Chain A
Amino acid sequence: MASHENKSTLEVIPRNEEKIKKIWKTAFILLILTSIEFVFAFTLDRGILLYLIFIGLTIWKAKYIMMEFMHLGEEAKPLFYSIIVPLIFLVWLVIALMREGTDIFLLRW
């Protein structure tokens, strides 16, 4: 019984070098984007422009992680949209809470 269980029934498929190359390419892009954030953190002045650049780069990285690493793009379209569309609620949360924070600031100082 034990020897039977350990017997492999799965056939090992050889490596697809192209796929693996694509994974490393994505990793390289992520590292480049992070380095750009790093350089900007020290060279550009703090302000709304820099923050927008940071947020843009972050969402760009998030896209790569979700699409290339988590293969969300290869899932069925209804699954893809059921994950992406609910995130719209976060837009409301950002607007509501930033407004709230600004008002508290004005009340306090």
Chain B
Amino acid sequence: MSTTATAVGVSPKRGIWGGGNEPLKASYGKLMMWFFLLSDIFTFAAFLIAYAAIRVSYPGYLGPEDAFIGSNEYWPVPELVFDAIPFFHGVHIPLAFVGLMTFILIMSSVTMVLAVEAGHRNDRKDVVKWLLWTILGGITFLSCQAWEWTHFIHGTDGGSVLTFVNKMGQVVTETVYGANLFINEYGPAAFAQLFFFITGFHGFHVTIGVFLLFLAFYQAAVGVYERRGHYEMVEKIGLYWHFVDLVWVFVFTFFYLI
């Protein structure tokens, strides 16, 4: 933001080659955060596009929705896989829980942008307040994800009867419950593998984000940024946090809706 105090003081004595200049009117830290995020966009895009490529390489489930059973022969319908929410055991409520997670992450992004806005105004009290809300949102999201993973790994009551080559090299037909990287009751092995890698990589980003937010919260609360003269660190961590939200928007569409 050009309207705020310049983050890097440029000493007139140092001149153009002495460092501390801002080529794109963004400080070094902010610029590097943007380029890091660009590289991260490519990483996540590679994951999601690989998901799409592997998905079209399998036949989709074409039968009626209420008669859906998981099989490693075809790709499952996501809304019929992700249909559980806590405390409602065995009830079919498609996508509600993941919708709640999306809502939580978007709201935490909103509180983050409010923290950044408060940082521009040098308002320590507001920064601390909104960062705390953001941390709360991040932790809630991670908890939801932990629950979802647990449910996904343990599976449904009925499981699915699958024919597959087991680890001993024999062709067996047996009931499979839940999911691991080798076999799962919902679809081909690649379905669970991609679920674990994509949502896991995103969850890893959220975890790092929560640590960074806590750092910013602590430093803002004890007045580090006030002494430094600007709240740019909140802005940089904010960029990262919005990126995490941005990725989730795509994961939500490609993994849960399509």
Contact = CB atoms under 8 A, between A and B. Distances in A.
A binds B: yes
A94 B49 contact: yes
Contacts, number: 149
Interface residues of B, number: 61
A61 B107 CA distance: 14
B85 to A, nearest CB: 14
A20 B115 CA distance: 11
Interface stretch (B8-16, B133-141, B143-151, B221-229): B221-229
A108 B57 contact: yes
A35 to B, nearest CB: 9
B242 A69 contact: yes
Contacts of B54: 101
B121 interface: yes
A83 interface: yes
Nearest to B31: A79
A14 B79 CA distance: 46
Interface string A93-109: 11001101110110011
B45 A34 contact: no
Nearest to B61: A46
Contact of A79 (B34, B94, B114): B34
A105 B56 contact: yes
Interface in A19-54: 19-20, 23-24, 26-27, 30-31, 34, 37-38, 41-42, 46, 51, 54
Contact of B249 (A8, A58, A98): A58
A90 interface: yes
A61 B242 CA distance: 12
A15 to B, nearest CB: 7
Contact of B113 (A31, A69, A82): A69
A83 B34 contact: yes
A76 B26 contact: yes
A105 B26 CA distance: 47
Interface stretch (B95-103, B166-174, B192-200, B209-217): B95-103
A13 B123 contact: yes
Interface string B205-245: 00000000000000000010011010000000011001101
23 contacts: A8-B124, A8-B226, A11-B122, A12-B123, A20-B114, A27-B110, A30-B106, A34-B103, A37-B257, A38-B95, A41-B79, A41-B257, A54-B253, A54-B257, A54-B258, A62-B249, A70-B242, A70-B243, A79-B25, A79-B26, A79-B31, A82-B24, A105-B56
